Amino acid sequence: MDTTRSGGPPPSLPIARPLHERLLIGATALFLAGASVLVGCRLLGTDAVTPVPQLLAFLPWMLVPISAALLLTGLLRWRTGAVWALALLAVAGWSVRMYDTGYATGAQAAAGSWGTHGPAVARIEVLTSNVEFGQATLALIETLRREKPDVVFVQECEYVCAQLLAARVPRADYPYRHVVKAGQAEGSAILSVFPLTPTDGITGTLAMPGSATRIGGLPVQLQLVHPLPPVPGGVDDWRAELGRIRTYAAGQKGAPLILAGDFNATRDHAAFRSVLDAGALRDSAVLAGAGRAPSWPAGVRAPLGAQIDHVLVSEDFTVRSARFLELADTDHRSLLVGLDLHARR
Q: Could you list the pLDDT tens digit for every one of the 345 residues in the chain?
A: 555 555 666 666 667 889 989 999 999 999 999 999 999 999 999 999 999 999 999 998 899 999 999 999 999 999 999 999 999 999 998 887 766 655 444 334 333 444 557 899 999 999 999 999 999 999 999 999 999 999 999 999 999 999 999 999 999 999 999 999 999 999 999 999 999 999 999 999 999 999 999 999 999 999 999 999 999 999 999 999 999 999 999 999 999 999 999 999 999 999 999 999 999 999 999 999 998 899 999 988 877 899 999 999 999 999 999 999 999 999 999 999 999 999 987
Is 11 a domain residue? no
| Residue 76 near residue 84 (C-beta atoms within 8 A) | no
128, 89: one domain: no
- The greatest distance separating any two alpha carbons of the chain, rounded to the nearest whole angstrom, comes to 113
164, 256: one domain: yes
The total domain count for the chain is 2
78, 222: one domain: no
Give me the pLDDT at residue 9, please.
Answer: 63
**Domain endpoint, select from 101, 121, 155:** 101
44, 115: one domain: no
51, 125: one domain: no
Is 151 a domain residue? yes
| Exposure letters 53-87 (e unless 16+ CB within 10 A, then b) | bebbbebbbbbeebeebbebbeebebeebbebbbe
**What is the distance between the alpha carbons of residues 215 and 204, in angstroms, rounded to a whole number?**
27
C-beta neighbour count of 218 within 10 angstroms: 16
- In degrees to the nearest 10, what's the CA dihedral of 265, 296, 99, 237? -10
67, 212: one domain: no
Which CATH number fits the domain that encloses residue 139? Answer: 3.60.10.10
Is 243 a domain residue? yes
Is 94 a domain residue? yes
Give me the pLDDT at residue 104, please.
Answer: 42
Is 184 a domain residue? yes
Is 14 a domain residue? no
Give me the pLDDT at residue 95, please.
Answer: 82
| Residue 273 near residue 260 (C-beta atoms within 8 A) | no
Three-class HEC string of 220-266: EEEEEECCCCCCCCCHHHHHHHHHHHHHHHHHHCCCCEEEEEECCCC
97, 245: one domain: no
- Classify 192 in phi/psi space as left (phi over 0), alpha (psi -120 to 50) or beta: beta
Is 10 a domain residue? no
Give me the pLDDT at residue 101, please.
Answer: 58
Give me the pLDDT at residue 153, please.
Answer: 98
Give me the pLDDT at residue 301, please.
Answer: 81
Amino acid (one-letter) located at 336: L
The boundaries of the domain holding residue 322 are 106-344
- In degrees to the nearest 10, what's the CA dihedral of 135, 139, 145, 147? -110
Report the predicted TM-score, pTM, of the whole model to 2 decimal places: 0.89
Give me the pLDDT at residue 144, please.
Answer: 98
Give me the pLDDT at residue 13, please.
Answer: 63
C-beta neighbour count of 321 within 10 angstroms: 15
39, 172: one domain: no
181, 223: one domain: yes
27, 127: one domain: no
**What is the distance between the alpha carbons of residues 311 and 267, in angstroms, rounded to a whole number?**
12
92, 139: one domain: no
The shares of helix, strand and coil residues in the chain, as percent rounded to the nearest 5, are 40, 25, 35
**Domain endpoint, select from 61, 81, 101:** 101
**Domain endpoint, select from 80, 101, 122:** 101
**What is the distance between the alpha carbons of residues 316 and 314, in angstroms, rounded to a whole number?**
5
Is 1 a domain residue? no
237, 282: one domain: yes
**Please, which residues have CB within 8 angstroms of residue 22's CB and are 6 or more apart in sequence?**
none
Give me the pLDDT at residue 26, please.
Answer: 95
